[in-house]
Amino acid sequence: MDIEQVGDAQWERRVLGSDIPVLVEFWSPSCNVCRTMEPRLHKVVEGYKGRVRFYRVNVRDEEDLVWAYEVMSTPTYIAFRDTEPVGALYGEVDVTELANLLDDSIDGV
């Protein structure tokens, strides 16, 4: 499953307007950790299909979103529920940490 690229033009409708939780990966094509994380992220995507939407933001192309959400490093994963960020993870994390972040966003913790 591909993770759709999203930018400022689609942000309001796709991320903040989502009727289910969203996980956004802020990444960079030159980020080695981002490449390391890709198989783990895809594993999580498959497990949460239909319960969470997944998007990516290229930090080089979307500076306004980077500043708005205070992204300081890549990868940064931010979970959104009801238009608000509800949790974040930074750098190389394992599948369990990603799953816990998503479970919390689904459960409303």
How many CB atoms lie under 10 A from the CB of residue 14? 16
pLDDT band at 88 (very low <50, low <70, confident <90, very high): very high
Q: For domain 4-107, which architecture applies?
A: 3-Layer(aba) Sandwich (3.40)
- This prediction has a pTM of 0.95
The Cα angle at residue 58 between residues 1 and 73, in degrees rounded to 5: 110
Which helix or strand (DSSP H or E) is residue 63 part of? helix 63-68
DSSP 3: P
Q: Of residues 3, 31, 88, 99, which has the active-site annotation?
A: 31
Q: Are strands 84-90 and 76-81 parallel, antiparallel or unpaired?
A: antiparallel
> Which residues share a beta bridge with 57?
26
Nearest one of 108, 100, 6 to 53, comparing CA atoms = 6
Query: Among 6, 24, 34, 57, which one carries the catalytic annotation?
Result: 34
In degrees rounded to 5, what are phi and psi of residue 55?
Answer: -135, 160
Assign 45 to helix, strand or coil.
helix
User: Would you place residue 9 in the very low, low, confident or very high pLDDT band (cuts 50, 70, 90)?
Assistant: very high
In this prediction, residue 104 carries a pLDDT of: 92
Amino acid 1: pLDDT: 52
**Domain limits, the chain:** 4-107
Active-site annotation holds for 31: yes
